[in-house]
Amino acid sequence: MRLFFCVELDDAAKRDLGCLIEHLKPRCGDAKWVAPENLHLTLRFLGEVGEDRLGELENLAQTVAGEFRPFTLELGKLSAFPSPKRARVLWVGPVKGEDRFVELMRAVEEGVRRLGFKPETKDPTAHVTMARFRSPRDLSGLLAEVEFKDVLPVEVREITLMRSTLRPEGPIYTPVFRVPLGGS
């Protein structure tokens, strides 16, 4: 199974980000856009994992979730990886609450390393992937023009282990389990 840990977005956040996607599409050429129902905040991508490891992954999620209380993340900035001038991924990130989310990402990372998963090589960045590009492009002008009228609050209340089934028309995400933060 192809798996990742994430924080799911509520329907209102998905709807609002879906509107932003529709606004950006005409200006981004051949981007591969994430379907609004698939928008999420990744905590850690795991890759292909055997079903026999689900128990230890759930134990890990319970341990990490017990260390955190629910909190709010406020999305309100648009950026790109690896940089706006050579964008391969267009994303929305937080303007408030990022430090707490990165702590959660690091706790998950530490746990999956202890379980023998390969260490993540990139620095943790709280973000929602909006689009991917086949070749790098300069989005610095677009990013300078786009402003959020209001921040988009995201309630971080649980950790989800998500299964990703790849299909030609796009991935299908199915929750394997959800674990509430701090017993909420």
pLDDT 10s digits, 66-85: 999 999 999 999 999 999 99
Q: Is the pLDDT of residue 148 over 90?
A: no
Q: Is the pLDDT of residue 183 over 80?
A: no
CA angle 35, 39, 45 (to 5 degrees): 115
Task: At 178, list the tokens.
Answer: 């959800």
What does pTM read for this prediction?
A: 0.93
Dist CA 181 CA 56 (whole Å) = 17
| Number of structural domains found in the chain | 1
Q: Is the pLDDT of residue 42 over 90?
A: yes
Beta strands, E only, the chain: 2-8, 32-33, 40-48, 71-81, 87-96, 128-137, 152-156, 158-165, 172-180
What is the mean predicted confidence (pLDDT) over 35-49? 97
| Domain CATH for 120 | 3.90.1140.10
| Active-site position among 127, 128, 130, 154 | 127
What count of residues does the chain have?
184
Conformation bin of residue 2: beta by default, left when phi > 0, alpha when psi is -120 to 50: beta
Q: How confident is the model at residue 10 (pLDDT cuts 50, 70, 90)?
A: very high
Residue 40 annotated among the catalytic residues of the structure? yes
| Active-site position among 40, 44, 137, 157 | 40
Domain extent for 45: 2-183
Residue 23 annotated among the catalytic residues of the structure? no
Q: Is the pLDDT of residue 184 over 70?
A: no
